[in-house]
């Protein structure tokens, strides 16, 4: 069985459950991370071919293999995103926070922003999804003037577009609800946009929640939806040269990025297909294709506390687990099929699938009674991904109307 032999973790189950309750202790967290890294190394090791063959021995696996092979060789389907409406830009910057079910994190972020806030030149917009906590009360108590925009769906791209549509400044900056800006964050982030009219994207650095080490500095993305992290600009430039500028480019991290609003309006904003993951990478690629520039602002930093999301939280719903690969399939259909070979596309998606199967096994091994359902959940995940790959064509994003703030 997949759950027993392929991607499950039979050892240390009881110990893992006990330690999982105390994962906040630093050495225990490190122990669990090391254990998972070793297991991921096994997936990437010499047994990978036999594991793939075993996956394909199941009907869901065979369906996935056929769907992946067919989709990777099919023609790319262009997508169109209609432009947003232009408005009079009366302020310097609109800072946008997109949030749902993170009231305690949001309160910390708002307090950090308030330390240097200048309401005479900037505005704050909070886009609140269908939340079940007291986020609305947190915003009402904000020490800064704040506009609250409701978002009816749990879709980050739609939420970002609502903030963009409501903005009235030359620039828009995005900071996550679980990120705290360092002193001078906004001024330094906007400097590249203010100095060079050809620059439409400014990307800052990201530290961990304690400010002890960098999570992201110079980030390079490719048209398969992969990301590569570098400590310096020369290493990032080397990577882009190796892959080629048609396949790799500098990008920004969603929790610390700013844009020239007029450029976003022309490009249509964020593609609403992306519920989560790659929505900012997709937008940046389109901006670069329109001749705009992306610059890095090392002096602009945020501390990212890494709140719970679909990638970090255990989930036993295959639909939740398939959200990320669904975004990657859509992204590759737009950009990867024109720049990478079918074999490279298949290999990339295989790696994502294997890691997702591993994540399901890891979650199950630490969450009874789900450990007994590991094989079933993995097969349901494969079936869900196969269903995505069987789409005759990628959805045309123009069918998603841009939301209007209320």
Q: Tell me which of 37 and 139 has the higher pLDDT.
A: 139
Can you read off the two tokens belonging to residue 219?
């980030």
Q: Which range, 47-56, 268-277, 357-366, 396-405, has the best average confidence (pLDDT)?
A: 268-277
pLDDT at 30: 52
How far is C-alpha 101 from the geometric centre of its chain's CA atoms? 17
Closest CA to 157 of 290, 326, 278: 278
pLDDT of 2: 36
Tens of pLDDT, residues 125-137? 999 999 888 999 9
pLDDT at site 328 = 95
Q: Which residue has the tokens 């110079």?
A: 218
pLDDT in tens, 180-211: 999 999 999 999 999 999 999 999 999 988 88
Q: Residue 370, by phi and psi: left (phi above 0), alpha (psi -120 to 50) or beta? A: alpha
What percentage of the chain has pLDDT greater than the value 90? 54
SS3 content of the chain, % helix, strand, coil (to 5): 45, 20, 35
Q: Average pLDDT in the 298-309 region? A: 83
Question: How far is residue 5 from each of residues 62, 68, 86, 103, 375, measured CA to CA in Å?
Answer: 18, 24, 57, 41, 9
Lowest mean pLDDT segment, chosen from 59-68, 221-230, 263-272, 389-398 = 389-398
DSSP strands (E only) in 274-343? 293-304
Return left, alpha or beta for 374; rule: phi > 0 is left, psi -120 to 50 is alpha, else beta: alpha
Considering only residues 124 and 19, tell me which one the structure prediction assigns the higher pLDDT: 124
Beta-sheet pairing, 91-99 with 169-175? parallel
Residue 379 has what pLDDT?
83
Instruction: Give me the residue label for tokens 């879709």.
Output: 155
Structure confidence at residue 249 as a pLDDT band (50, 70, 90): very high
Which residue in this structure is represented by tokens 């950009």? 335
Q: What does the mean pLDDT of the chain come to?
A: 83
Q: Is a pLDDT exceeding 60 seen at residue 33?
A: no
Which one has a higher pLDDT value, 34 or 146?
146
Q: What is this structure's pTM?
A: 0.86
Comparing CA positions, the residue from 61, 74, 169, 29 lying closest to residue 385 is 61
């Amino acid at each position: 069985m997949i759950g027993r032999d392929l991607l499950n973790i039979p050892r240390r189950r009881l110990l893992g459950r006990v330690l999982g309750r105390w994962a906040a202790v630093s050495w225990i967290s490190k122990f669990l991370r090391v254990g998972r890294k070793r297991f991921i190394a096994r997936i990437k090791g010499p047994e990978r071919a036999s594991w793939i063959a075993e996956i394909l021995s199941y009907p869901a696996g065979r369906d996935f293999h056929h769907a992946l092979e067919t989709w990777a060789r099919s023609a790319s389907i262009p997508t169109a995103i209609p432009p947003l409406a232009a408005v009079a830009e009366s302020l310097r910057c609109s800072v946008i926070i997109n949030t749902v079910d993170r009231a305690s994190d949001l309160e910390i972020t708002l307090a950090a922003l308030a330390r240097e806030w200048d309401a005479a030149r900037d505005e704050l917009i909070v886009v609140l999804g269908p939340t079940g906590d007291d986020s609305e009360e947190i915003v009402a108590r904000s020490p800064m003037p704040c506009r609250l925009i409701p978002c009816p769906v749990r879709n980050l791209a739609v939420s970002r577009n609502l903030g963009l549509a409501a903005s009235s400044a030359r620039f828009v900056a995005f900071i996550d609800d679980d990120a705290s800006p360092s002193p001078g964050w906004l001024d330094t982030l906007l400097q590249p946009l203010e100095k060079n009219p050809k620059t439409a994207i400014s990307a800052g650095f990201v530290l961990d929640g304690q400010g002890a080490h960098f999570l992201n500095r110079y980030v390079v993305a490719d048209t398969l939806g992969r990301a590569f992290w570098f400590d310096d600009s020369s290493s990032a430039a080397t990577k882009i040269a190796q892959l080629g500028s048609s396949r790799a480019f500098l990008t920004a991290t969603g929790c610390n990025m700013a844009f020239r609003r007029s450029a976003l309006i022309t490009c249509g904003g964020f593609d609403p297909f992306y519920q989560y993951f790659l929505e900012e990478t997709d937008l940046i690629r389109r901006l670069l294709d329109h001749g705009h520039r992306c610059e890095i602002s090392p002096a602009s930093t945020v501390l990212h506390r890494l709140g719970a999301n679909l990638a970090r939280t255990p989930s036993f719903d295959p639909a939740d687990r398939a959200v990320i690969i669904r975004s990657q399939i859509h992204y590759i259909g737009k950009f990867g099929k024109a720049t990478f070979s079918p074999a490279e596309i298949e290999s990339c998606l295989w790696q994502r699938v294997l890691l997702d199967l591993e994540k399901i096994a890891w979650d199950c091994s630490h969450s009874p009674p789900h450990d007994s359902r590991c094989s079933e959940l993995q097969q349901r995940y494969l079936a869900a991904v196969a269903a995505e790959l069987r789409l005759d064509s990628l959805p045309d994003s123009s069918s998603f109307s841009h939301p209007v703030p209320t």
